[in-house]
Amino acid sequence: MRTAISLLLAVGALALTGCAGPERKLGRGINNFTEFMRLGEISRSMEQTALFEGPDIAYGTGFIHGFNRSMARTGVGFYEILTFPFQSYDPKFLPEHPVYPTSHKPNLIADQIFSPDSSLGFGGGDVAPIVPGSRFRIFDN
């Protein structure tokens, strides 16, 4: 009995966490689900509409197009969070990586995890990469 329970727990753990597919699908789902905190689709759509169709319709048409894309990304993220333990780990509806406006590509956050230079007390990276329009970097190579 003890062996059967141990084997069942080992197979269950392997099915949920032993492969890279489920954790990648869950991470992609969380990224997509939190799209409205990032506002990447809205910013990119407004910027692209202003560049290709003119600045006078960027705030209306670009915002609505970005809002629709954000809703789609949030829905796909919710679906991927719910179904992450099951097969089909490839992205089906949207690109795997989130989009950003062309004028802003975020870098690593400026904190001691990614640049632990204790002699300076600070390191390079973005100060607030989630906030749209914050492109200040401490060190820009």
Q: Which pLDDT score, from 0 to 100, does residue 134 have?
A: 61
Map 112-130 to HEC letters.
CCCCCCCCCCCCCCECCCC
The percentage of residues in the chain with a pLDDT greater than 90, rounded to a whole number, is 17
- Write the pLDDT tens digit of every residue in 9-41: 655 555 555 567 888 888 889 989 998 888 888
Q: What pTM was estimated for this model as a whole? A: 0.62
Q: Which pLDDT score, from 0 to 100, does residue 69 have?
A: 92
Average pLDDT, the chain: 75
More confidently predicted of 107 and 3? 3
